[in-house]
Every structure is written in structure tokens, then in C-alpha cells.
Amino acid sequence: MNRLKQLFEEKKNILSIYYTAGYPNLGDTMAIAEQLEQSGADLLEIGFPYSDPVADGPVIQASSKQALDNGMDLKLLFEQLKDLRKTVTIPVLLMGYVNPMLQFGVENFCKACAEVGVDGCIVPDLPMVEYEELYAEIFAKYGLSNIFLVTPQTSPERIQKIDGISNAFIYLLSSSATTGQNLQVSDQTEAYFARIAALKLKNPSIIGFGISSKETFNKACKYAHGAIVGSAFVKSLDGDNVRGSVKEFMKKFKG
């Protein structure tokens, strides 16, 4: 059984943490991953930076710019992750935009993911039709899950289609805003989550965008199998004491 399937079968209220590779310092990628697992994270999303991160709010945009300025790119990221599975046992996803993947070569990218032990990818701007026609077989060849995003505006037909071609979990955006907004569970949001539940999808779901505290995490877990913390975590990282700042941040959720 792969790591993602095992996680969702064995755990509830899954805490997924997003951070940007190469931020705050170029060499911090593995130290953050190791400390997150030690501090209780269930799932990691490592962002590979891109110069035009359209879905991201100011915090993650700034971290991407800093990481690029530091010299981070996909080649270096895979070098940093080459011993990932010697110290990290929880599932790991790479998250980023399609352009760097295309420049690297999609098959090269998938092969490198498999070699270092990455379990799947989240590529928000990769069209579903393009994925199905051009890349699904490559992802399958290397045992990678592709995680699709659903927003409050996604039609039931498209959600069912996403569910049909997914094999790990579905990423529910709490709103159509950029990352870093606070989760507001309004009547409208509750109706959206209820609509998803009524579809009785075969894949579990995780809620992202706006999860910044134990309170918002617990709220999200009422409607899904877990939640993703991104901007709040990235904001908390101290470049002079990365492991210490990770440990301190995680106490909010696991303390």
C-alpha cells in the first residue's frame, strides 16, 4: 500500500503543512521536512518556486521570490531530496506550477519524484484534459498521484470527473481567493462543503486556503479528512533558527 492511501486509511484530522523549497535559506528544505515530521505533521507539501505564482497570496509569493533569489530550481530540489526517505517517513507531495515542470521535462520530473520518494504532485494550473491526454500515463508509470483542486465554483459534473481520475485525495479550496486568506465558515461555505459531502466521493478530501490556527484547523476537519496550513507556517519561519521556529509553530496544533 502506498504512503498516501495508508495515511488516509489510518488517520483522521490529517494535518498537512506546505512550505517553499529553498526558503528562508537555500539549504533549509530537508531540515524543515525532518522537523515537521518530528513535530507531528502527517503530510508535507513542498512548493517548488516559480516567478509568477498566480494562485498564491503575498506571503507565499514573497517566499517563492526569496527561494528563487537564493538559487532554488527543480534540479537542486531533487538533489536536496535524494536522501529524503532516510529520515522522512510521512507522505510528501511537490506543489507548483506547470511551467517549471515542462521546462524540466514532465517524464524527467516524474522519474525524479519516484527516485527520491515523492508520493504525488499538486499542479494547480495543469488543465485536467491536458493531464489526461498527455501525462496521466507518465504519472501512473512512476506511481505518482496527481492531486486536483476543487473550488466553490466547480460544477458537480467536474467534481465527479475529478473524483473518477483521482487516486489519493481531493484538495478542496475553502474559497476562490488566493492563499493566505483566513477561513470564514459562512452559510455559503457550509453549503459548499455540504454539497461536496452529498456527492459521496470515493476519494477523501483535505481543505486548504485560510487554515492558520487550531481553531480554523478544527473547523475544516468537521467537513473533510484534514486541512492544509501554508501561509501561516511560511510566515512563521525564522531563517536564523529554522528547526526551532518549526517546532514552536507546530505546538499550536500538536501542543
DSSP character at residue 131: I
CA distance to 56, 109, 141, 152, 190, per residue, from 194 (Å): 26, 36, 35, 11, 6
Question: Helix, strand or coil for residue 86?
Answer: helix
Query: In which element (H, E) is residue 206 found?
Result: strand 205-208
DSSP character at residue 224: S
Are 168 and 122 spatial neighbours (Cβ–Cβ below 8 Å)? no
Residue that has been written with the C-alpha cell 506571503 in this structure: 59
Residue that has been written with the C-alpha cell 487516486 in this structure: 167
Instruction: Respond yes or no: is residue 125 known to be catalytic.
Output: no
Are 138 and 171 spatial neighbours (Cβ–Cβ below 8 Å)? no
Instruction: Respond yes or no: is residue 56 known to be catalytic.
Output: yes
| Orientation angle between helical segments 242-254 and 214-221, nearest 10 degrees | 50
Question: Helix, strand or coil for residue 122?
Answer: strand
Question: Helix, strand or coil for residue 155?
Answer: coil
CA distance to 23, 71, 72, 234, per residue, from 76 (Å): 13, 8, 6, 20
**Exposure on the CB side of residue 46, measured as CA atoms within 13 A:** 31
**Strands 92-95 and 170-173: what pairing?**
unpaired
Q: Which residue in 28, 37, 42, 56 is the catalytic one?
A: 56
Q: Which residue in 45, 107, 115, 125 is the catalytic one?
A: 45
Which residue numbers are catalytic? 45, 56
